[in-house]
Structure 1
């Protein structure tokens, strides 16, 4: 199979590593290029709507920056309120050359401590920055801190990216 070209709406090494691992796991030969693009949502999204919009915008904006990509892929992490508690999660969106969504998935969600949400709001910050400060971790990775360094954001994102490949790549027949 020839390789496909994926324009990813991030230059984060952690996220690009997760994208590469997901495509590898899927058995898809992909050339991955990261692009610094705008999400057009707040730097710390606080709803599923903002998270999905950010991922979609990143996928479409990366595709627009690339000269020859077959697909755009966007990842946006954020915090959403569920049952009076906050949860950190991410959305992954895949768009084709027409900008149409051909893949969409969410990561697992982990409860976000109230003190983290309070600090984000008080300091106009982000979960990753607060996790670095409070948890003493090197990467901007709340999952790593919340799980006591047992599971990082890269694994969570890899799973979401892998699942976003179902409709277009892994089993299109199931979605007809």
Structure 2
């Protein structure tokens, strides 16, 4: 059984990580410990590079906090080109996998507030009336009428980031 350190306590992110690991390695293949660590980037990262840096720094901080594990995983959500997306970074003791999620275009009414310095989660909670929407379905769930959720979009990106760990061609 793999010991996985998840660099967040966000339920949507934990669900995605657990589901992806079990899809790739089998049911019951991992035990996840969630830790709170800093990203070193603003609460609302802007741009692909800042968002990726946040995910990498979360993995680094999780490794320092919990150095004995098989995998460390971080998912950092950001805004780029008026869309929301995330970077997933997974590390083992000897390699790294990274993948960017699908993107969701955001309405101008939401982007106006983000450009004014607010973070997407609180803006979406205020707009939708759903408390802590970022820990639930997120903007993705709201704007896709529940057809996709944060967890479902993160899941795909985690599966992609796991590619270097189960495909011999990467070794």
Task: Return the TM-score normalized by structure 2.
Answer: 0.90
* TM-superposed deviation, 1:39: 0.3
Aligned to 2:159: 162
Indicate yes or no: 2:80 matched with 1:80: yes
Aligned to 2:101: 107
* TM-superposed deviation, 1:44: 0.4
Structure 1: how far apart are the matches of 2:67 and 2:76?
Answer: 23
Structure 2: how far apart are the matches of 1:161 and 1:172?
Answer: 18
Q: Which runs of 4+ in 1 moved over 2 A?
A: 135-139
Indicate yes or no: 2:15 matched with 1:26: no
* TM-superposed deviation, 1:97: 2.8
* TM-superposed deviation, 1:113: 1.3
Indicate yes or no: 2:51 matched with 1:55: no
Q: How many residues align?
A: 165
- Give the root-mean-square deviation of aligned CA atoms: 1.5
Structure 1: how far apart are the matches of 2:144 and 2:119?
Answer: 18
Aligned to 1:151: 148
Structure 1: how far apart are the matches of 2:33 and 2:128?
Answer: 31
Aligned to 1:97: 93
Task: Give the one of 14, 19, 25 matched to 1:16.
Answer: 14
Structure 2: how far apart are the matches of 1:68 and 1:172?
Answer: 24
Aligned to 1:172: 168
Structure 2: how far apart are the matches of 1:36 and 1:22?
Answer: 21
* TM-superposed deviation, 1:67: 4.3
Aligned to 1:4: 2
Deviation digits for residues 100-125 of structure 1, max 9, x if unmatched? x5111111101011211211232x32
Task: Return the TM-score normalized by structure 1.
Answer: 0.87
**Higher-RCO chain (CA-CA 8 Å, sequence separation at least 6):** 2
Q: Which runs of 5+ in 1 are unaligned?
A: none
* TM-superposed deviation, 1:66: 0.9
Structure 2: how far apart are the matches of 1:38 and 1:80?
Answer: 21
